[in-house]
Amino acid sequence: MTEPRILFAGTPDIAVPLLRKLSSSFNVVGVLTSCDRSVGRSSKLVPTPVKAAASELGIPVLQFESLRTPARQAVKELGADTLVTFAFGKIFGPMFLDLFSNGRFNVHPSALPLFRGPSPIQFSIFSGLQEATISLQDIGLRMDEGDIWGRHVIPLTGKENTQSLTTLVSEEAASFVPDLLRRIVSGEVSSKPQEGEASYCTMITRETGVLDFHRTARELHCQIRACYPWPKAWAKVNGTDIAITGVWGGFEDIESSDDCSDKEPGTVVAYRKDRGIGVACADKVLWLTGLQLPAKKELDYKAFINGNQWILKSRFE
């Protein structure tokens, strides 16, 4: 592989540290990112985090609604021969991919072929994995099926949520990918086909957050962490939707939690100042540390109880 002229494709915050690191180590000739969008009620267009970083770094930015002829022509004019993508958000067609004779690489936060698709970080937490993985793969014509160049493993404690793990993956990818890419350029490593049975993750929706306290404490612990900061896990109490924004402890703490198999699932069974609000699940007590009423701010369990003592005599449905 010759010294690459990289087009970096990415959109959200998670991709920014990698762009910065690549730009300091390689010739990044351009950045491809999603078009500016209005945020909230304002009609003002806001650039993507990747565009903002690219502008700061003085790297040309390309933005197209589709990757058809105008986009391909713009890439040709940049002279890019290598594509590196991280959370870009669009599918690359064969004519676009053919522009990159020197390599086409995608950063995917799972141990492919595990969790192909759009939400591997959330599914890693949902599944209660004890390690997260970043894979660098070839980009093929089918979703996340390309050969693997390398993997980086991150141990998990069971205290991570999607917000914190996304930040960690972002930081770790910025260290792992440029070093691996340098080894690929020098011919030190080669790619290998994905091995094992493929699994797929889906888009996260509000319904992903619906809690069923007839499930185990470990399953709900993982679900709550996976759904933060969006869509937030939630359940009804007296007909009102209450978001659960935090839980106590990690993997080891869940296993040692109090047994409550004789209690009605969803019932608030305890309150401890050092743990939170204890709710009965199918097997053990789950300790809630953050709650939010509709149209109100998130509160930690102590602040929530100060204004909502009724929660201690309630049941989550």
- For residue 172, the one-letter residue type is E
The predicted pLDDT at position 256 comes to: 87
The predicted pLDDT at position 40 comes to: 75
- The values of phi and psi at residue 106, to 5°, are -125, 135
**Arch. (CATH architecture) of 207-313:** Roll (3.10)
∠ CA 35-38-40, nearest 5°, is 145
The predicted pLDDT at position 137 comes to: 98
3-class secondary structure, 49: helix
- For residue 252, the one-letter residue type is E
The predicted pLDDT at position 41 comes to: 75
Residues of the chain with pLDDT below 70 are: none
Question: Residues 218-231, buried b or exposed e (16+ Cβ, 10 A)?
Answer: bbbbbbbbbbbeee
pLDDT single digits (tens) 111-136:
999 999 999 999 999 999 999 999 99
The predicted pLDDT at position 195 comes to: 96
Q: Which two tokens stand for residue 317?
A: 């449905």
pTM (2 decimals)? Answer: 0.95
The predicted pLDDT at position 1 comes to: 79
Strand partners, 33: 63
Distance CA(14)–CA(134), nearest Å, equals: 13
- The values of phi and psi at residue 216, to 5°, are -75, 160
Distance CA(56)–CA(20), nearest Å, equals: 10
Third-level CATH fold of 5-185: Rossmann fold (3.40.50)
pLDDT single digits (tens) 59-97:
999 999 999 999 999 999 999 999 999 999 888 999 999
Residue 216's nearest CA partner among 179, 176, 245, 255 is 255
Distance CA(18)–CA(65), nearest Å, equals: 23
Locate the domains of the chain by residue range: 5-185, 207-313
Residue 116's nearest CA partner among 199, 10, 173 is 199
Strand partners, 138: 105
For β-strands 5-10 and 45-46, DSSP reports them as unpaired
The predicted pLDDT at position 206 comes to: 96
The predicted pLDDT at position 261 comes to: 85
∠ CA 266-268-272, nearest 5°, is 135
The predicted pLDDT at position 42 comes to: 74
- Look up residue 116 and give its DSSP letter: B
Query: Is the distance from CB of 223 to CB of 211 less than 8 angstroms?
Result: yes
Q: Is 216 exposed, middle or buried (0-12, 13-18, 19+ CB in 10 A)?
A: middle
Whether 5-185 shares its CATH topology with 207-313 is answered: no
Q: Is 155 exposed, middle or buried (0-12, 13-18, 19+ CB in 10 A)?
A: exposed
The predicted pLDDT at position 145 comes to: 95
DSSP labels for 236-274? EETTEEEEEEEE---HHHHHTSPB-TTSPTTBEEEEETT
